[in-house]
Amino acid sequence: MRKFEEMKQLIAELERANYTVPTELDFNAAIADMLHFVGDTDSDLREGIYKAFDTLNDNGAFSPDQMRHILTTTLDDRHLFLGIGESGTDTVFMRAFSSLIICVAFCMHDENPFLTSAEIQHVRGTVLRYISQEKDYCGYVPGKGWAHAIAHAADALANIAGVDKATDIDGDYSIGREGLLEILDAIKMLAINPALVYDAEEDERLAEAAMYVIYTEVLSNDDMCSWIADFAKYIDRNTMPSDYFRKINQKHFLRSLYFELIADDDLKELSKFLFDIMTKKEN
């Protein structure tokens, strides 16, 4: 196992090699070391490792077996679930950046499918379970950089949902209507967080994740309208400050979603429905 300075050297070497794998490098060992340090508190190393995974993937460096191993590892108790339930501790960096590595795996699957429907469902269920337990909502941490666990979780949901934008060879979907509705429910619960007001554009990342669900074209317009209308029941101004925080987060999210919707001519009906919901609430 490489030590901290050795890891920084490895990332620098990969960058100098334009993220191709040097012939003398034990790539599997390097992968294991990068996964070990992917949540390091040093922001340069943490961001460098994520960039290495992402760009190596773009360059076709990983085999399906290697990426399956990477994905399985990021879902375990030492990565996505490390310190789950904690808030204000350094474990958030491991959880948050594990979410980004899940995104990398699904980007590879989009280009060259290698995951089975059962594996995709397993990842979806695991990520939803993680989201239901995440309690650290910080964005930027002075001296340590971005944690951004909620934004990264939204990115993971977007990539997972995006698998269903096309059916498989049997004409079936890997996730399907019920699975996508569960993803939307997770987005909703993150969007109406009563613990604090998001301050690092989490609303926009969550709105983008919802758009990935919409673009699968698995859900009907009625499904989406029902989901949007359901936001109204979560507003109760009697408990302060939690309900006030919830109101602000919800408002920011719905506005972000609205501007995503109006950018697509095919979604004008849905954007009008959302606009009517928002203006009714304001009145």
Ranges of each domain in the chain:
62-282
Q: Which residue has the tokens 């996730």?
A: 175
Residue 138 has pLDDT above 50, yes or no: yes
Q: Which residue has the tokens 């429905």?
A: 273
Q: Write down the pLDDT at residue 282.
A: 52
Q: What is the mean pLDDT of residues 196-215?
A: 97
Q: What is the pLDDT of residues 145-169, one digit of tens each?
A: 999 999 999 999 999 999 988 665 5
Q: Which residue has the tokens 């996505």?
A: 80
Q: What is the pLDDT of residues 227-257, one digit of tens each?
A: 999 998 766 666 789 999 999 999 999 999 9
CB atoms inside a 10 Å sphere around CB 50? 18
Q: Write down the pLDDT at residue 240.
A: 81
Residue 50 has pLDDT above 60, yes or no: yes
Q: Which residue has the tokens 């925080």?
A: 245
Whether this prediction's pTM lies above 0.85 is answered by yes
Which of 111-115, 142-146, 177-181, 258-262 is least confident? 111-115
Residue 170 has pLDDT above 70, yes or no: no
